[in-house]
Amino acid sequence: MKRKVVVTGMGLVSPIGNSVAEFRDSLKAGKSGIRGITAFDLTGFDVTIAGEVKDFDPSRWMDKKEARKMCRFSQFAVAAAAQALEQAGLVETDPAEAAGAPRRIRSHAERTGIVLGNGIGGFEVVSESFRKLFDQGPRRMLPLTVPMMIPNEAAGNISLIFGIKGPALTQVTACASGADALGQALDLIRAGRVDVALAGGTEACVVPFSVGSFQMLKALSTKRGDTPEKASRPFDADRDGFVLGEGAGVLVLEAEEHARARGAEILAEFAGYGGTADAYHITSPDPSGEGGGRAIKLALEDAGLKPEEVAYYNAHGTSTEINDPTETRMIKYAFGDHAYKMKVSSIKSMTGHCIAGSGGLEAIACILAIREGFYPPTINLDRPDEACDLDYVPNKVQYGDIYAALSGNLGFGGHNGVVAFRRYEPTAGLL
């Protein structure tokens, strides 16, 4: 029998809230976090909007000196991990300690791992060092360029700050990175290599280099700079591209017997994962939906779920011309007739596309949906595309009983990652 894996903690930083409670309330309210870009001068840019994280103070979760040595994507990851570990009851806390003081995990550091997804790394320090290199020469480059820019920096800093000594791994599969990281962590726990794992994704690419690069791909929305909250409109006929976002979502995963033995509150079961590759195109998904559809089927099989047991599917839902109808076909491929009976929505309509951060944030949305019985809306869905004919929970939250929910993420390179969660039911006879 497979070792049952459960969720005992969640933490996040996002364009619609920097705590799970604020994120949940924003999802229910259909609140958009997309605004005009404030991070840099927009001279020469056609793209002027993004889902930026707001009011983020890294010193709430880490030492100020350490924070200055990290890129923003790593700061987001540490903040999300701190929240998740606190909820799980796995860190020592002392009210007398100064804000941001390091907090170590309570025990079994060698049996705790980290698997974090990241797509792009520290573009802000890369850009600045390139500028200094070309303008002033190599001796003026930032001394910490390498340890700040590399994608594994986030997992490494979580390990250092919290004293986690198991494997600290980084998954890089573009926009599927967060979902694939969760799947890799699931396998580590099932295999008995660790008992606890922090897993999810992080990204902070609202910087000139990445915004300019995506702009040159003609991938980003440019129509609604004056009404940014309406720009991300998955499955709507008037969509014109995705909106870049940023943030991090981290889950604490545990073997059920480990969580039960220490008396942890169990939030949900992480039941299954499916991963595939399209082998079709470097940026576009297979239009048949077969690649992503197989990932859904694999996740269902891994979880032991029947299609009709799934009430909610959190779609990748990027608001691009190609993705949305392709993902609709993908869902139909996997679920058959049940695709028309369940709810499907895209929270990217509110957060924008947070690249690797999406996998963690959207997994948390699924767990909240199961626990509190609500379907997050797809806002700005005013005129559905004829090719997108499922129930996408248009504009307003809906409520219902949710036993199981899936979340899918698709990445450049043809990567497909799907994770499955269900309501936790204790294993009989387990102490």
Contacts (Cβ under 8 Å, ≥6 apart) of 266: 6, 7, 8, 256, 259, 260, 424
Catalytic residue among 71, 205, 258, 316: 316
Catalytic residue among 175, 205, 354, 388: 175
Residue 175 is among the residues annotated as catalytic for this protein: yes
Catalytic residue among 71, 205, 258, 353: 353
Residue 338 is among the residues annotated as catalytic for this protein: no
Report the alpha-carbon angle 247-249-252, nearest 5: 160
Residue 316 is among the residues annotated as catalytic for this protein: yes
* Packing angle of the helix pair 153-162, 72-88 (nearest 10 deg): 40
Token couple for 430 = 């387990």
Handedness of CA 163, 167, 170, 171 (dihedral sign): negative
Beta strand segments in 48-89, E? 49-50
Give SS3 for 175.
Answer: strand
d(CA 316, CA 362): 9
How close are the terminal C-alpha atoms of the chain, in Å?
A: 17
Residue 182's closest CA among 264, 115, 239? 115
Active-site residue list: 175, 316, 353
